[in-house]
């Protein structure tokens, strides 16, 4: 069964209409997940070549990895070029109906000196 271009577009449009609204993320945000620390650190370094500051964002178990990324960026890759400007910690409510739970979040702002 081959999908035609029209079928694919229709499916995408319908999914976009029925999906929950998605927050737009600025280009200087880096969302930390399960990849190795150095992947995120190098990505952050490339973003800092373009932007004055970046924001490392993580939730749950990825928080420790976000802290590691910030430390590697500032202490190893930065050579006194970058510094941690701000750290915000918070909680988000995730899940649906009966499955709602609190998940810890962190935002680490790193800027060029």
The pLDDT assigned to 97 comes to 85
Closest residue by Cα to residue 73 from 36, 106, 107, 48:
48
Summarised one tens digit per residue, pLDDT across range 42-99 is 999 999 999 999 999 999 999 999 999 999 999 999 888 999 999 999 999 999 988 9
Domains of the chain: 27-112 (3.30.110.20)
Closest residue by Cα to residue 68 from 32, 99, 94:
32
- Judge whether residue 33 has pLDDT over 50: yes
Q: What pTM value is reported for the model?
A: 0.75
Q: How far is CA 99 from CA 38, 62, 65, in A?
A: 34, 21, 26
CB–CB of 104/79 below 8 Å? no
The pLDDT assigned to 1 comes to 45
């Amino acid at each position: 069964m081959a999908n035609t271009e029209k079928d694919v577009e229709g499916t995408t449009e319908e999914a976009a209409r029925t999906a929950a609204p998605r927050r737009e993320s600025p280009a200087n945000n880096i969302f930390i997940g399960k990849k190795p620390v150095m992947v995120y650190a190098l990505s952050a370094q490339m973003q800092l070549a373009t932007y004055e500051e970046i924001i490392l964002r993580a939730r749950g178990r990825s928080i420790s990895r976000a802290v590691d990324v910030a430390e590697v960026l500032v202490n190893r890759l930065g050579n006194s070029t970058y510094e941690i400007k701000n750290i915000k910690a918070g909680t988000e409510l995730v899940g649906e109906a009966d499955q709602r739970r609190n998940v810890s979040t962190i935002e680490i702002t790193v800027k060029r000196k």
